[in-house]
Amino acid sequence: MGIEDVVNKGKDAVSEGVDKAKDLYEQNKEKVDEALHSEQAEGISDSILDGVAGFAKKVAPGAADKIDEIRDNVDKQIGND
């Protein structure tokens, strides 16, 4: 078995894994959507986004307005607020 065979087997395994993940997501799409838009997800995402935005503002204080805009746009996609 040559290196190409090993690489091809690896590619096939990854492809199969991705297909299984897609199928699993499709089967549980409603549950995933509910979880992403739950009150718990909102609290967790707010905490993470606030921390990341605060750090980004320390690194790039001149971009605070843009950082807040990005943070707010991401927050709209997660949670229920």
Rg (CA), the chain: 20
φ, ψ for residue 80, nearest 5 deg: -125, 10
Per-residue pLDDT tens digits of the chain, which is 81 residues long: 788 888 888 888 898 999 999 999 899 999 888 887 788 888 888 999 999 999 999 999 999 999 999 999 988 887 666
| Per-residue pLDDT at 79 | 65
Q: What span, in angstroms and rounded, lies between the C-alpha atoms of 75 and 42?
A: 8
DSSP state of 37: T
- Name, in order, each residue with C-beta under 8 angstroms of 37's C-beta and a sequence gap of 6 or more: 78, 79, 80
